[in-house]
Amino acid sequence: MLRLLLWCLLLVLCWPLALLALLLWPLVWLLSLPFRLIGITFEALFALLRALLFLPARLLGGRDKRA
């Protein structure tokens, strides 16, 4: 019974916060999109640099630790 009362209290107190989060989520997503694109770009750049740095070892027959 106590759980039900606490849940009802939480519902009464937090529904404005839930509604605000529901309305603001698309705006937050749009604002974070450029940062995600920058992150993807830097991840690809670091993968390219790693591939270039390890190319001589791969050509000389170095062992891959992951395999």
Listed by start position, the domains of the chain span 33-57
State yes or no: pLDDT of 13 exceeds 90.
no
State yes or no: pLDDT of 9 exceeds 60.
yes
φ/ψ region of 24 (left if φ > 0, alpha if ψ in -120 to 50, else beta) reads alpha
Structure token pair of residue 31: 């604002």
pLDDT attached to residue 17: 82
> Higher-confidence residue: 64 or 45?
45
pTM: 0.54
φ/ψ region of 40 (left if φ > 0, alpha if ψ in -120 to 50, else beta) reads alpha
Structure token pair of residue 37: 């694109």
